[in-house]
Amino acid sequence: MSAELLNGTRLAKHIRSQIRRKLKKLTFTPGLAVVQVGDDPASSLYIKHKQRDCEKVHFYSEVHRLSADVSQSALIKHIEDLNTRSDIHGMLVQMPLPEDIDKETVIDNISPDKDADGLNPVNLGNLLINREGVTPCTPTGIIRLIELSGEEIEGKHAVCVGRSPLVGKPVGLMLLNRNATVTYCHSRTPDLAEQTQKADLLIVAIGRPGFITADMVKPGATVIDVGINHINGRAVGDVKFEDVKEVAGFITPVPGGVGPMTRAMLLENTLKLAIGG
């Protein structure tokens, strides 16, 4: 048996065309601001992609490049100014930040109404109490990919490997909100395979290339590989794709699975914030 591929590139393209259609009904242009501190090349590339995505759906976008030695208070002042701009509906601060800047404090200062990444504690708190508004991009993209499979989430056993606030923890909450039974695994979980083998939905976000092997996967499971690991200039996931695809029912490729969906969900969040819904 070979698993069916969940094609994030194609789904993201479809979502962008839906956004363009919705935009035709608006009398204004949604605007996204991205704040970059320093000039980390990987961050610059991610930002370029985000700008290109904005162009594709005819959003307005701005990049604010601040020097690597900017103080935390000056960065926060910059964010506060963006919070008051009526032409900017969503913003995000590109991570990572320099070590002397506290990431959480910075995110605290993004207005929840402009939080395009869905990582402000108010938006995460709403997720916790099943009042989903703007939700983090990668977890939201994962839910869309599972929905694409046509598999019901309700009643399924979901296992999240990884518990980061960016991916693992919020995706587990989103699955719980949809009535899955959720198990979280992390680096201190003894006998990880015993847990993953029980998963109908296996979400892997750890950052270890090829860590999940075929013997760790329940036959027919839906496997979502979030990992992006660069090996010899090539992106590989946390799942041993070639082997696991022979066991799984559905599987996401890397690249072309969760990555493009994360970017599409940033556009959706920006639109949501722009129309106040």
Spatial strand order in the sheet of 90-93? 60-66, 31-37, 90-93
Nearer to ligand NAP, 111 or 209 (CB): 209
We find the least distance from the C-beta atom of residue 180 to ligand NAP, in angstroms, to be: 19
Q: Are 216 and 161 in contact (CB under 8 A)?
A: no
Minimum Å gap between C-beta 219 and ligand NAP is: 22
First-to-last C-alpha distance (Å) of the chain: 42
- By CB under 6 A, tell whether 173 contacts ligand NAP: no
Residue 192 binds to ligand NAP (criterion: CB under 6 A)? yes
- Closest approach, Cβ 196 to ligand NAP, in A, equals 10
In this structure, how many other beta carbons lie within 10 angstroms of the beta carbon of residue 133? 16
| Residue closer to ligand NAP (CB basis): 30 or 168 | 168
Q: Does 166 bind ligand NAP (CB under 6 A)?
A: yes
Q: Which of 228, 239, 271, 273 binds ligand NAP (CB under 6 A)?
A: 228
Taking the least distance from each CB to ligand NAP, the nearer of 98 and 207 is 207
Does the protein bind ligand NAP through residue 139 (CB under 6 A)? no
The pair of three-digit structure tokens given for residue 23, joined into one six-digit string: 């935009």
Alpha helix segments (H runs only) across the chain:
8-23, 41-56, 72-83, 103-108, 121-128, 137-149, 168-177, 192-196, 241-244, 258-275
Residues between 231 and 260 with contacts to ligand NAP, criterion CB under 6 A = 258-259
Shortest distance (Å) from residue 95 CB to ligand NAP: 9
Tell me the sheet residues that pair with 160. 184, 203
Residue nearest to ligand NAP (CB): 164
Nearer to ligand NAP, 98 or 111 (CB): 98
Judge whether 151 and 222 are in contact, CB under 8 Å.
yes
Look at residue 201 and give its three-state secondary structure: strand
Binding site for ligand NAP (CB under 6 A): 138, 161-164, 166-168, 185-189, 192, 205-208, 226-229, 258-259, 262
